Amino acid sequence: MDGRRNAVEAVLHYRDGTRAAFEVSKLAAPGAIQLESLLRSQDFVWPAPGEWGWSVGLSDPRHLPRLRECFASVAVWCEANGVTRPQDLWNRHGVPADVWWVSQQEGITLSGNPGGPLQLANGRRVVMVTPGPSGGMVDEALTGLNDALAGAFVDTHLARKVEKLNAHPGVEERHLYVIVHSTGLPFAISYGLSFGERLTEEPPPLPDGLTHVWLAPQYGERVLLGTAHGWTQHRPYGRP
C-alpha cells in the first residue's frame, strides 16, 4: 500500500530513452476551492430581497452559512437606512447584530446600488454572489513570481509533491504541473500570470531535485514552464 501511495502520477518516456516523473497539484488559498464549489451549486446567485441591486463577495467558506441566512434581512435594513456598503459602518449604535457582523468581517463585501441593476435568472430577481473580494496593482512583468513561488514550495502541499517526485528512482527529470487557482498567488501576480504576456527573466526557485515546474492559471490561455534555464510560455488551448 505504501508503495502505491507514494507512486508518482505518471512516468513520461521520451524517444531518446530519458524518463521523467510527473505530478499534478493545485495551488489555492485555504478554503477557496471549497467556497467556489459551494457557490457554484447555487449558480452564484441568491434571491433579491429588496428593491436595490446587490453584489456579494466573500472569501471564507466558514462565513457562508450565516451570511446566506442573514443576507435578506441585512439588505432590507441597508436599503431602509440608505447604507450601500455595510462594511463602511463605523458605529454599531442602532445597527442590528447581523448587519454589524457583516460589517466587521474582512472577507465579506456587500455593495448595494439603489438604481440597480437587478440581475434576472429564469425570470426571477437575484443578486450575484462571487468569491472575493480581490483586486489591486497588477504585476504584468511577474517580477514577484519567483518570490511567491519560493514561499509556496515551503508553505503549501507543493513541498510534499516535490518529496514524492524525489523519492521516485530511475528518472532524469522531475516535473510538477501546478494548476494555479485565482487565489493561489497574490492578486498582482495571479492577474499577470493569467492575462499578461510577459515573463520574468530570472529562472524559477526550483527545490532540490525538481527539474521542471509548470504553472497553469485557472484563467488565461498560457501555461508557463520553468527550468534552471528560465521561463518559457506555451499555449496549449488552441491559440497560436
Buried b or exposed e, range 9-39, using 16+ CB within 10 angstroms: eeeeeeeeeeebbbbebbbbbebbbebbebb
With a pLDDT cut of 90, the percent of the chain lying above it is: 60
Span 85-106, average pLDDT: 94
Could you give the CA distance from residue 36 to residue 44 in angstroms, rounded to a whole number? Answer: 9
Could you give the CA distance from residue 85 to residue 89 in angstroms, rounded to a whole number? Answer: 8
Q: Cα–Cα distances in Å, from 133 out to 58, 70, 105, 129, 175?
A: 6, 19, 12, 11, 33
pLDDT at 118: 67
pLDDT tens figures, 148-201: 999 999 877 899 999 999 999 999 999 999 999 988 888 888 888 888 889 998
Residue 53: CB atoms within 10 Å: 19
Is the confidence at residue 5, as pLDDT, over 70?
no
pLDDT tens figures, 202-212: 999 999 999 99
Is the confidence at residue 239, as pLDDT, over 60?
no
34 backbone dihedrals φ, ψ, rounded to 5°: -60, -45
Answer yes or no: are the C-beta atoms of 140 and 198 closer than 8 Å: yes
With a pLDDT cut of 70, the percent of the chain lying above it is: 92
Alpha helices in 110-195 (DSSP H): 145-155, 158-166, 187-195
pLDDT at 237: 78
Span 18-32, average pLDDT: 92
Could you give the CA distance from residue 212 to residue 231 in angstroms, rounded to a whole number? Answer: 10
201 by Cβ neighbours in 10 Å (0-12 / 13-18 / 19+) ranks as: exposed
Span 57-74, average pLDDT: 94
Span 104-131, average pLDDT: 83
Which residues, at least 6 apart from 60, have a Cβ–Cβ distance to it below 8 Å? 31, 35, 105, 107
pLDDT at 2: 46
Span 103-107, average pLDDT: 90
pLDDT at 141: 86
pLDDT at 1: 37
Span 26-32, average pLDDT: 88
Is the confidence at residue 106, as pLDDT, over 90?
no
Span 56-85, average pLDDT: 94
pLDDT at 213: 97
Span 63-79, average pLDDT: 96
Is the confidence at residue 134, as pLDDT, over 90?
no
CA torsion sign for 211, 198, 179, 56 is positive
Is the confidence at residue 92, as pLDDT, over 50?
yes
β-bridge partners, 217: 180
